């Protein structure tokens, strides 16, 4: 039996990462049901419950990496291939330690003379000389590199990566959702009337990163190292989103459904907490609900997205999952990866950078996408079908390496 170890994201149940894992598992098993896949996870029991697979215990810290290194080496000895990705794993925006932490797995695999596939990775800003050097040295050793957009490929080429690279799309586009009746049952369990219009809001913490900082984001937040100006910007953004949610209630009698994409407190993202803070700022908070994403499989949540009339999302994979279900999405992108995705989906007219979000602008965007909803849905459906086919190409190349 062939053995694959998959290093996807930080193993902390970011739903985008879980969608990439779930999509990979399904598609690789369609090609060969006897392939064993193991992933890294901060909670192996939860991973087994969600995906039905084993995992290597690893938290997002250098201490955890050192503590679990003997187990990693033991597992790596038995593997046929390391699949590294997807997600935005090449960037020093969170900190200068972020990408080197993830790249260590490739470094270890190549020392042990194992095959490595870089899988559907996104590449963000890389400004520090240290990160550029590490990325160039380590990724040049990979046996296969697939990327989720053409811009990522161009950045790696500028960094000096001479490997042949393939530009496809994010694998989560091809995630198979749960049945519609399952999604309806979930919605009803939260007391939401599914017969009324539903608008999903998918927020996240923003304005907390400091390019080039050596201190990881979660510690910057935990230690209160976010400056007052950026704290005030975030508070203003939450209030603006609350006003937009109220506007949807008042104009189309919508239920507002918050879908947290990352909930673990130790990662300091706390989408659930942020969602509740936005609800507390709403005038019509009785019409707002928060899905406990941790209690549902990502396939079920994709199906929940499919019940929405509109998605207003800051999270990258909220846009991917929503568009994959053919739902109109209004993207409030906070980084280049979101901007690239918006262009890929031809949604530039229905998006705004999170830095530019003001109530008047957001209201205009909402009015426009509601007015154009049939045209937008038709366009997204057509585009998403095309992207789903491209997403499969990532797995086909992986399978060619081990068959």
- pLDDT, tens only, 252-276: 999 999 999 986 655 556 899 999 9
DSSP H helical ranges for 32-149: 44-51, 62-67, 69-78, 98-111, 129-139
Mean pLDDT of the region 304-328: 96
Domain formed by 3-174+388-402, architecture? 3-Layer(aba) Sandwich (3.40)
- The encoded tokens of residue 138 equal 């380590």
- Calpha distance 75→108 (Å, rounded): 11
Within 10 Å of residue 401's Cβ, how many Cβ atoms?
A: 16
- The encoded tokens of residue 62 equal 């250098």
Cβ burial, residue 397 (10 Å; 0-12/13-18/19+): middle
- pLDDT, tens only, 105-137: 999 999 999 999 999 999 998 988 999 999 999
Domain with CATH 3.40.50.2000 in the chain: 3-174+388-402, 180-387
User: Which residues pair with residue 370 across a beta bridge?
Assistant: none
Under 8 Å between Cβ of 245 and 199: yes
pTM value surpassing 0.85: yes
Q: For 226, list phi and psi in degrees, rounded to 5.
A: -80, 130
CATH code matching the domain that covers 180-387, chosen among 1.10.150.120, 2.40.50.100, 3.50.50.60, 3.40.50.2000: 3.40.50.2000
pLDDT at 60: 74
- The encoded tokens of residue 40 equal 């890294």
């Amino acid at each position: 039996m062939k053995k694959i170890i998959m290093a996807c994201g930080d193993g902390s149940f970011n739903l985008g990462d879980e969608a990439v894992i779930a999509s990979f598992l399904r598609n690789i098993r369609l090609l060969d049901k006897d392939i064993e896949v193991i992933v890294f996870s901060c909670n192996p029991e939860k991973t087994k419950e969600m995906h039905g697979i084993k995992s290597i215990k690893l938290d997002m810290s250098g201490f955890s990496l050192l503590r679990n290194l003997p187990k990693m080496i033991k597992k790596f000895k038995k593997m046929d291939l390391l699949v590294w990705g997807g997600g935005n794993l090449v960037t020093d925006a969170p900190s200068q330690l972020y990408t080197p932490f993830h790249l260590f797995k490739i470094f270890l695999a190549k020392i042990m003379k194992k095959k490595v596939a870089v899988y559907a990775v996104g590449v963000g800003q890389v400004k520090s000389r240290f990160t550029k050097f590490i990325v160039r040295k380590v990724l040049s050793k990979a046996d296969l590199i697939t990327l989720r957009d053409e811009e990522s490929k161009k950045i790696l080429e500028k960094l000096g990566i001479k490997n042949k690279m393939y530009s496809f799309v994010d694998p989560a586009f091809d995630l198979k959702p749960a049945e519609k009746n399952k999604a309806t049952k979930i919605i009803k369990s939260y007391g939401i009337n599914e017969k009324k219009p539903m608008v999903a809001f998918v927020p996240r913490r923003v304005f907390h990163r400091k390019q080039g900082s050596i201190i990881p984001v979660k510690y910057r937040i935990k230690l209160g190292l976010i400056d007052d100006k950026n704290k005030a910007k975030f508070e203003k953004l939450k209030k603006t989103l609350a006003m937009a949610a109220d506007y949807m209630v008042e104009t189309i009698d919508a239920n507002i459904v918050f879908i947290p994409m990352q909930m673990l407190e130790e990662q300091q993202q706390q989408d659930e907490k942020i969602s509740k803070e936005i609800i507390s700022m709403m005038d019509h908070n009785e019409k707002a609900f928060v899905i406990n994403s941790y209690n549902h499989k990502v396939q079920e949540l994709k199906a929940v997205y499919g019940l929405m009339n509109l998605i207003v999302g800051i999270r990258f994979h909220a846009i991917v999952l929503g568009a994959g279900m053919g739902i109109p999405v209004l993207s409030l992108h906070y980084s280049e990866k979101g901007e690239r995705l918006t262009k890929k989906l031809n949604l530039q007219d229905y998006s705004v950078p999170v830095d530019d979000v003001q109530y008047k602008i957001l209201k205009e965007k909402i009015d426009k996408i509601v007015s154009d909803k049939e045209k937008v849905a038709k366009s997204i459906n057509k585009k998403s079908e095309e992207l789903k086919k491209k997403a499969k190409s990532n797995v086909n190349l992986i399978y060619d390496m081990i068959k």
